[in-house]
Amino acid sequence: MKYSTVAVSADGPRYLASTAVLLSELLKVVICLAVLARQRLRQSRSLDMTAMARDVFGAESDCLKMLVPAGLYVVQNNLQFVAVRNLDPATFQVSYQFKIITTALFSVWLLSRSLSQQKWVSLFLLTAGIALVQMPRSSGGGGTAHTRQDGNGDDDEEVARRALMQLTGLSAVALACVSSGLAGVWFEKVLKGSKGSLWVRNAQLSLFSLVPALLVGVILVDGAKVAKLGFFQGYTVWTWAVIVLQAGGGLIVSLVVKYADNIIKGFATSISIILSSVASVYLFNFSMSRNFVIGAGMVLFATHLYGSSAKPAAAAEKKPPVEPHERLSNDDADEKK
Ligand code: C5P
């Protein structure tokens, strides 16, 4: 994402984040509708569009519940671009890990999930560990990410500009962390607590997201720029890559939330970051820093701690209540799944 924002021709315009967010939502809509159409065809051998529309927007679809995460995700996806443009990649990645904690807090609040002390410890350890993993090398040069944006910035104006960028970027990250926790847990609650398949929920989410992405993002915020230099200003192959990655990543997130939960998603993402860094050792000659090794150790230990705090025997003795909502509140049942 960072690379796509700098990989532009010398003095050409930068692409507009709002248009990229809109296109990735559009791509998700197309994918979700294609999956739903395929499911319909398999069931009834004919493509009944009214039945499909009824599944997604009908009186029984409970579609209005998706308005909240749809709005939040559009804001969050735009905030991510704001953060990436104002911070260096490492600071962005490190500070964005705070979403692990906001997600846990919203899970406790909205899903009435109770987390043992050991689980809280493991979550803080995970956040600190993954932040360490992403931290650039402390002493000069050779880190995995650039830690300075440009210039040496000795004069006051430059210092003030940097401070403002830092403040804007970190505020965007803070809001994105709150949104990530709230939207993710809201989606999980609706998905697991009511009927409506994953693909129906995903279709509702992305269709509803199109409205704010277009009206607020593209028209209200960037309308003047779009009118002046066009919708696709500054687009490169990297912009398209980001759009595809955002759409694909979003759909994978929904699968993780369905088959596991939002907290476990935090562990999965952290471990995937470590695995891809290890792969970079072989692929891109990435050398592991001490911070990386310590952080990776903390992440693995946190994962073990979180998993081992489940007490299968006790859980088996105490059968969970049958209500779907209540089943959500049972950590052990979730982990077993
Ligand atoms: O950083 P975080 O894990 O909160 O990011 C979640 C991402 O997944 C967002 O970009 C959101 O738009 C996307 N998503 C999605 N479909 C879902 C749930 C999340 O596209 N059902």
Amino acid, single-letter form, for residue 227 = A
- Ligand 1 center–CA 96 separation, angstroms: 14
Counting Cα atoms < 13 Å in the Cβ hemisphere of 246 gives 28
pLDDT, position 136: 74
- Ligand 1 center–CA 4 separation, angstroms: 20
Rounded to the nearest 10 degrees, how much is the dihedral formed by the CA atoms of 165, 126, 108, 248?
70
Among 64-68, 195-199, 275-279, 328-332, the range of highest mean pLDDT: 64-68
Ligand 1 within 6 A of CB of 180? yes
pLDDT, position 328: 44
Least confident among 80-84, 214-218, 328-332: 328-332
pLDDT, position 180: 96
Q: Whose CA is nearest to atom 20 of ligand 1?
A: 250
- Ligand 1 center–CA 253 separation, angstroms: 6
Q: In the predicted model, is pLDDT for residue 151 greater than 90? A: no
Ligand 1 within 6 A of CB of 234? no
Ligand 1 within 6 A of CB of 250? yes
Q: Whose CA is nearest to atom 11 of ligand 1?
A: 250
3-state SS of 69-122 is HHHHHHHHHHHHHHHHHHCCHHHHHHHHCCHHHHHHHHHHHHCCCCCCHHHHHH
Residue % of the chain over a pLDDT of 90: 61
Give the Cα separation of 164 and 221 in Å (integer): 20
Q: In the predicted model, is pLDDT for residue 58 greater than 60? A: yes
Amino acid, single-letter form, for residue 297 = G
Of the candidates 255, 275, 298, which has an alpha carbon nearest to the alpha carbon of residue 130? 298
pLDDT (average), residues 212-227: 95
The more confident residue out of 295 and 327 is 295
Q: Whose CA is nearest to atom 13 of ligand 1?
A: 250
Return the best residue to mutate from 197, 253, 267 for the ligand 1 pocket (most ligand atoms within 8 A of CB).
253
Q: Whose CA is nearest to atom 2 of ligand 1?
A: 180
Give the Cα separation of 127 and 139 in Å (integer): 23
Q: In the predicted model, is pLDDT for residue 102 greater than 50? A: yes
Ligand 1 within 6 A of CB of 205? yes
pLDDT (average), residues 223-228: 97
pLDDT, position 49: 87
Length of the chain: 337
| Longest pairwise C-alpha distance within the chain | 70
- Ligand 1 center–CA 187 separation, angstroms: 10
Least confident among 1-15, 90-104, 173-187, 192-206: 1-15
- Ligand 1 center–CA 250 separation, angstroms: 4
- Ligand 1 center–CA 213 separation, angstroms: 14
Ligand 1 within 6 A of CB of 97? no
Q: In the predicted model, is pLDDT for residue 14 greater than 80? A: yes
pLDDT, position 43: 85
- Ligand 1 center–CA 69 separation, angstroms: 9
Of the candidates 5, 6, 14, 25, which has an alpha carbon nearest to the alpha carbon of residue 216? 25
DSSP-assigned states of every residue in 154-220: -SHHHHHHHHHHHHHHHHHHHHHHHHHHHHHHHHHHHHHHS---HHHHHHHHHHHHHHHIIIIIIII
Ligand 1 within 6 A of CB of 144? no
First to last CA, the chain: 33
pLDDT, position 109: 96
Q: In the predicted model, is pLDDT for residue 148 greater than 50? A: no
How many helices (H) and strands (E) in the chain?
16, 0
pLDDT, position 10: 63
> pLDDT tens for residues 176-218?
999 999 999 999 999 999 888 999 999 999 999 999 999 999 9
- Ligand 1 center–CA 241 separation, angstroms: 17
pLDDT, position 279: 82
- Ligand 1 center–CA 154 separation, angstroms: 40
pLDDT (average), residues 302-316: 72
Give the Cα separation of 187 and 140 in Å (integer): 43
Q: Whose CA is nearest to atom 17 of ligand 1?
A: 254
Ligand 1 within 6 A of CB of 77? yes
Q: Whose CA is nearest to atom 15 of ligand 1?
A: 250
pLDDT (average), residues 146-151: 45
Give the Cα separation of 126 and 296 in Å (integer): 9
Q: In the predicted model, is pLDDT for residue 336 greater than 70? A: no
Q: Whose CA is nearest to atom 12 of ligand 1?
A: 73
Q: Record the tokens describing residue 302, joined without a space.
A: 């946190």
Share the mean pLDDT of the chain. Answer: 85
Rounded to the nearest 10 degrees, how much is the dihedral formed by the CA atoms of 39, 42, 44, 48?
40
- The residues, any chain, with a CB within 8 Å of residue 138's CB and separated by 6 or more, are 291
- Ligand 1 center–CA 334 separation, angstroms: 20
> pLDDT tens for residues 246-268?
999 999 999 999 999 999 999 99
